[in-house]
């Protein structure tokens, strides 16, 4: 039986410049909920259709439980309640193409109605399975693969000197607000960029029908992980990276940064921060194989929201018991007052100590 938990609290909106986020509510899906002969979990990317009032979420299950798949959910915010119900699941169909799909992480929509999907690949496989960006019909049929710049691609065999780090590939995928651009963000610096804290964000444009091509790339400065911070006693943050991005106006994004937090009285936690990123004026790094040893004009960023604010703060207010492993976000339904919402989802990694949480926030630009 499906178990839903609803939390609703009023928090003072946090603002950075003019933009504001306000927490509205959340709901959770039971651990490993069985739906149409699959186990729901590993949700890592979201996209929303306002016309259909539904969202689609990719699962990053590498075949441990089921084949690569996309879940469909109905979504409704009504009467201060967030209602999300699974309504369908589709499997990627790969019968006539020599494509291997592992670790789906990102999802967006294309102008002709198909999904744009990103996969991290698998550097531990022999030969290595490279990351991919795919055009996929809504019945799961893979139509085509879009080219990635060579500096993202690990060597197929031998010692790796180039490309994404294993399990730290394309976590972020989104469409710009005007629908003219698609952005793809690696989770961590490329192997050849390891001396920096810079993440490459790739921009695609559509030069002709059915085709998108990378035309620019920007360097985004990742926060450095905190060690022995004061907020959590003897806190240790590891694996900082980008877990998702969301398109605003041209060359402006919301960027979600995530670190794993160990130590202190809270045990395993996650540090999640949402930034406003402005790529305008940032250097085009598309033709640079390495960023090491270079003076790079980086994208600008401003903190918008720290998910630590969602944890229970006492005074009888029911907050979230812990900050989960949030990996997906998308635009959600409009509020009655006309404000936009953003829907977030956490990846439970199919582990019982984590959960699949949907969180809804109001966004005022």
Over residues 323-347, the pLDDT tens digits come to 899 999 999 999 999 999 999 999 9
User: In the prediction, which pLDDT does 102 show?
Assistant: 73
| pLDDT over 60 (residue 3) | no
- Strands 252-262 and 236-247 turn out to be antiparallel
Please state the domain extents for the chain: 14-364
pLDDT at 80 over 50: yes
Report the distance separating Cα 359 and Cα 365, nearest Å: 19
pLDDT in tens, 99-113: 566 789 999 999 999
Q: What pLDDT score was predicted for residue 321? A: 73
Write the burial class of residue 335 (CB in 10 Å: 0-12 exposed, 13-18 middle, 19+ buried).
middle
Could you read off the pLDDT of 139-192 as tens digits, one per residue? 999 999 999 999 999 999 999 999 999 999 999 999 999 999 999 999 999 999
Confidence of residue 4 (pLDDT cuts 50, 70, 90): very low
Q: Does the structure show a pLDDT above 90 at 224?
A: no
- Report d(CA 267, CA 236) in Å as an integer: 11
How far apart are the C-alpha atoms of 365 and 7, rounded to whole Å? 25
Confidence category of residue 294, pLDDT binned at 50, 70, 90: very high
In this structure, CATH architecture of domain 14-364: 5 Propeller (2.115)
Mean per-residue pLDDT for 301-321? 72
Task: Please compute the mean of the pLDDT values over residues 341-363 and round it to a whole number.
Answer: 95
The answer to which of 35-49, 291-305, 309-323 has the lowest mean pLDDT is 309-323
pLDDT of residue 8: 33
Structural element, H or E, at residue 167: none
Q: Pairing between strand 38-39 and 269-278? A: unpaired
For residues 60 and 38, what is the distance between their CA atoms, to the nearest angstrom? 13
Q: What is the pLDDT of residue 225?
A: 64
Tell me the pLDDT tens digit for each residue of 34-61.
Answer: 999 999 999 999 999 998 889 999 999 9
């Amino acid at each position: 039986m499906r178990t839903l938990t609803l939390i609703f609290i009023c928090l003072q909106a946090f603002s950075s410049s003019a933009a504001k986020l306000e927490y509205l509510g959340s709901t959770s899906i039971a651990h490993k909920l069985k739906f149409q002969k699959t186990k729901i979990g590993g949700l890592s990317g979201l996209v929303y259709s306002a016309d259909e009032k539904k969202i689609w979420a990719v699962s990053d299950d590498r075949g441990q439980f089921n084949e690569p798949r996309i879940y469909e959910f109905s979504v409704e915010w009504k009467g201060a309640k967030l209602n999300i119900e699974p309504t369908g699941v589709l499997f990627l169909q790969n019968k006539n193409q020599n494509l291997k799909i592992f670790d789906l992480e990102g999802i967006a929509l294309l102008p002709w109605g198909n999904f744009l999907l990103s996969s991290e690949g698998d550097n531990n496989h022999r030969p290595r399975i490279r990351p991919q960006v795919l055009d996929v019909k809504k019945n799961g049929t893979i139509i085509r693969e879009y080219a990635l710049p060579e500096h993202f691609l690990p060597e197929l065999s031998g010692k790796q000197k180039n490309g994404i780090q294993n399990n730290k590939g394309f976590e972020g995928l989104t469409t710009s607000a005007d629908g003219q651009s698609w952005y793809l963000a690696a989770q961590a610096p490329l192997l050849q960029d390891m001396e920096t804290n810079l993440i490459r964000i790739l921009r695609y444009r559509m030069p002709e029908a059915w085709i998108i091509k990378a035309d620019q790339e920007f360097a985004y400065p990742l926060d450095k992980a905190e060690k022995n911070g004061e907020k959590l006693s003897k806190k240790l943050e590891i694996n900082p990276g980008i877990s998702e991005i969301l398109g605003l106006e041209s060359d402006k994004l919301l960027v979600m940064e995530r670190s794993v937090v160990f130590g202190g009285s809270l045990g395993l936690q996650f540090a999640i921060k949402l930034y406003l990123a402005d790529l305008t004026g940032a250097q085009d790094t598309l033709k640079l194989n390495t960023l090491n040893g270079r003076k790079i004009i980086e994208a600008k960023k401003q903190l918008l929201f720290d998910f630590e604010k969602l944890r229970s703060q006492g005074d009888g207010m029911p907050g979230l018991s812990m900050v989960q492993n949030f990996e997906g976000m998308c635009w959600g339904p409009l509020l009655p007052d006309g404000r936009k919402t953003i829907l977030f989802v956490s990846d439970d990694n199919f582990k019982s100590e984590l959960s699949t949480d949907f969180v809804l926030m109001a966004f005022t630009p």
